[in-house]
Amino acid sequence: MAIVILAAIALFLVYNAGRALTEVGLGTMLSGIQWYPTSDPGKFGMLPLVLGSLLVTGVALAVGVPVGVGAAVFISEFAGRRLKEVMKSVIEFMAAVPSVVYGLIGVAVLIPLVKDVFDLSSGLTALAGGIVLGVMSVPTIVSISEDALHAVPDDLRHGSAALGNTRWQTTFKVTLPSASSGIFAAVMLGLGRAIGETMAVLMLTGNAAVMPTSLFDSVRTMTGTIAAEMGEVVQGGLHYSVLFTVGLVLFAITFGINLAADLVLERQRKRWRR
Amino acid sequence: MKVKRLLSIGLVAALLVGALALTGCGAAEDGSGEAGDGSELSGTIDIQGSDTLLNVATAWSEGFMDANPGVDISVQGGGSGTGIAALINGTVDFANASREIKDEEREALEAQGGTVVEHRVAIDGIAVIVNPANGVADLTLEQLGRIYRGEITNWKDVGGADAEIVLLSRDSSSGTYEYFKEAVVAADDENAEYAASAKLLPSNQAIVEEVVGNEAAIGYVGLGYLSDDVQVVAIDGVEASIETAADGSYPISRYLYMYSDGEPEGVMAAYLEWILGSEGQQLVADEGFVPLP
């Protein structure tokens, strides 16, 4: 069933991207660095968009993974029962906040802050977008990592304690490694959340389609481009088709990430079984 | 738990709505050219299109339905392209557009035996704004073009402080983006492009907020979005206002359109006439646009 849906999505994207693939060519689009889709003739170089997405996602992971995994370890291993319940519901609530609200908070608080702290001409940067995406991916990372840590049998912890290890040693030498595959899955899902997020990046990254050279540049992401441009294009036109190609590339990237994650997990699972 | 459940219900609802919208857009291409139901001031009018026009279009429909309870008007946004596609597919009676219909779209409708009829319904003046602390309050159209092409990158070259100019633009999908490009960026050379470093923001409001918070920023917004927190830059010595846009002395203003398939008849004609009349044009002014002269 899932495979049928995935295949249908891929087919749908390829079908709609067909005109761009034949008239412009995938290679030209992927290697082009100028994105002026509404010019005449349009320039459809999507390399800045791909790099923009990757850069923002990279920042998001750098923020989200340490915070998320740290919080999961704290909740699972150190917090008392009551604190644990409170923290879990707070984090679940974080997942329920709509992304446009994160975007608004980012515009009001983070953008001026980034501008002042780094003395930039504008705070609308890959950094600002990435930080907010990182915060948004925290709930995913925390809940799945916490599940993985929770699934580690208490026997292991007791055994480690019996050998004279402190709680910290137990956590870092025994519990975390045992749960590593689950935590890896959590990070991958967080990554998927971040790369696919649209609204908040649209509001925070400035959306200038330049080749990013630093975290302090404005970037335009693939998701933001599709969201911003789809409403105004001529349906069935070349630009429309190019946007579907962007969607296809995004789909291929996320598909690749998930596939790679699955393969790594599978390998780890085999190792543990041995 | 409860929160999660509510969330999933909301999600399912959103998905359903999305799916419906998609099927609506892709709906069969038969039944084109069916417009308004002839009878006197009762009937249904479906309108879709530009988000720029959405507020004023909603105000029109409410005003007209108040005066004519027998008429049912539905207005949807989604963008000019979406609205025109719906007109081509025959699913709406009017398409709102903040840009002129493109040749491809005109041909698509004519290929089905339809005729595109254009109606100018309002004027949108586009004001150039900077932070009040910036100090620059007057630019020529030519300077503005050079700034947006990335040829002037420092405020000191146009009489301001020594600071890098932060370019803000509407997103490339917006009709305003295309209009500003025609009128300012590519006024002298039609192949000219916006500077790649221009930040493309998704809404008028986003541009105002960034200008309010950034002394080095310059942006352009519809007249309805001006506030006391921003400095309006006079262009060629003319201050942007409803009066100067209406009499044509302000150089950056454009028409907003409604398109129909064939001349509107019956209730559609009555609606259009009402929009172009004094009540409709008063609502245009209330929503921050410029009434037709």
- Chain-chain contact of B79 with A236 (C-beta, under 8 angstroms): no
At A182-193, the pLDDT tens digits run 888 889 888 988
What integer pLDDT is reported at residue B37 of this predicted model?
42
Name the interface residues of A facing B (CB cutoff 8 Å). 34, 36-39, 92-93, 96, 107, 111-112, 115, 121-124, 202-203, 206-210, 218, 220, 228-237, 240
What CA–CA distance (Å, rounded) separates B282 from B291? 7
Nearest to A228 among B173, B175, B213 (CB): B173
Residue B43, token pair as written in the block: 């009937």
- A37 interaction partners in chain B (CB closer than 8 Å): 172
- pTM equals 0.77
Does residue B77 carry a pLDDT above 60?
yes
Q: How far apart are CA B79 and CA B84, in angstroms?
A: 9
Q: What is the mean pLDDT of residues B45-64?
A: 91
What is the rounded (10 degree) CA torsion for A235, A236, A237, A242? 100
Helix (H) or strand (E) holding B272: helix B266-276
In this prediction, residue B39 carries a pLDDT of: 44
Indicate if the pLDDT at residue B108 is higher than 70. Answer: yes
What pLDDT is stored for residue B14 in this prediction? 52
Whether B29 shows a pLDDT value over 50: the answer reads no
Distance from CA of A44 to the nearest CA of B (A): 12
Q: Which two tokens stand for residue A41?
A: 């003739």
Contacts of B82 in chain A (CB under 8 A): 231-232, 235
Lowest mean pLDDT segment, chosen from A60-74, B168-182, B229-243: B168-182
Domains of chain B, first to last: 9-123+255-286 (3.40.190.10), 125-253 (3.40.190.10)
Hey, how many other C-beta atoms are within 10 angstroms of the C-beta on A112? 16
pLDDT at residue number B24: 42
Domains and CATH numbers, chain A: 2-273 (1.10.3720.10)
Which stretches of A151-232 are DSSP H helices? 154-162, 167-169, 176-178, 180-196, 199-204, 222-230
Reported confidence tier of residue B35, pLDDT bands at 50, 70, 90 = very low
Between residues 110 and 129 of chain B, which touch chain A (CB distance below 8 Å)? none
Mean pLDDT over A70-90 rounds to 92
**Does residue B10 have a pLDDT over 60?**
no
Q: Judge contact between B63 and B283, C-beta under 8 A.
A: yes
Contact partners, residue B83, CB within 8 Å, separation at least 6: B47, B48, B49, B50, B76, B92, B95, B96, B97, B259
The pLDDT-based confidence of B165 (bands split at 50, 70, 90) is very high
Q: Provide the Cα torsion B77, B80, B86, B88; round to 10°.
A: 160
Residue of B nearest to A43 (CA): B193
DSSP characters over B19-46: HHHHHHHT--S-STT-----STT-EEEE
In angstroms, the separation between the Cα of residue B172 and the nearest Cα of chain A is 7
Nearest CB neighbour to B197, from listed A93, A208, A233: A208
CA nearest to A187, candidates A132, A250, A142: A142
Measured CA to CA, the distance from residue A250 to residue B293 in angstroms comes to 48
Contacts of A172 (CB under 8 A, 6+ apart): none
Residue B5: predicted pLDDT: 52
Q: Could you give the ipTM of this predicted complex?
A: 0.72
CA distance B10 to B14: 6
